[in-house]
Amino acid sequence: MSKLYFEDFTVGDVAEYGEKLVTAEEIKEFAAEFDPQPMHLDEEAAKKTLVGGLCASGWHSCCMMMKIVADGYLLNSSSMGAPGVEEIRWLAPIRPGDRLRVRTTILEKREPNSRPDFGFVRTRFEVLNTTGACVMFSITSLMFGRRTPRAAQ
């Protein structure tokens, strides 16, 4: 696949990437390092929490999403990162045994007046589990270099 530049994204485009199998060991390892709350750290303790059983940290979910997206297309692109995230919603628990995919939808493209060499690609990222249910989404404007600098206006 040829390397992706700003020009290669079209508003409305939808694509899917993955998959990634989630394991209890990974959930607990991540939790021990970054988010040691009972629902992410231990099966028995998790049963007594709001989510009723072991589930991935919301931040772990974001990180797994990032890896799927990186392998799926970002590493083969002119991506220059992102200045932040507009919104994240964790809609349902991610459990051991789930096989995650990421569906991307291109929402908007913006070309900053001050920089002819890149543009923002505002993207909705949905994480789907084995049944196809959307378990989280986020909206982010990623920066991509242009294949050809934009002419001065």
Which of these ranges, 7-15, 50-58, 96-104, 121-129, lies near a second copy under the rule CB under 8 A? 50-58
Structure tokens that stand for 98 in this block: 């789930």
Secondary structure of residue 153 in the 3-state scheme: coil
User: CA nearest 130: which of 88, 90, 100?
Assistant: 100
User: What are the C-alpha distances in Å from 92 to residues 73, 112, 113?
Assistant: 26, 36, 40
Closest CB 24 distance from a second copy, rounded Å:
17
Determine the Cα–Cα distance for residues 89 and 84; give it in Å rounded to an integer. Answer: 15
Closest CB 55 distance from a second copy, rounded Å:
9
Quick check: 107 binds a second copy (CB under 8 A)? Answer: no
Quick check: 25 binds a second copy (CB under 8 A)? Answer: no
Determine the Cα–Cα distance for residues 40 and 57; give it in Å rounded to an integer. Answer: 6
Quick check: 63 binds a second copy (CB under 8 A)? Answer: yes
Which of these ranges, 86-94, 95-103, 105-113, 121-129, lies near a second copy under the rule CB under 8 A? 86-94
Q: For residues 13 and 117, which CB has a smaller minimum distance to a second copy in the complex?
A: 117
Name every residue whose Cβ is closer than 8 Å to that of residue 7 and which is 6 or more positions away in sequence.
146, 147, 148
Site residues (vs a second copy, CB under 8 A): 33-37, 39, 49-51, 57-59, 62-64, 66-67, 70, 74-75, 79-90, 136, 143
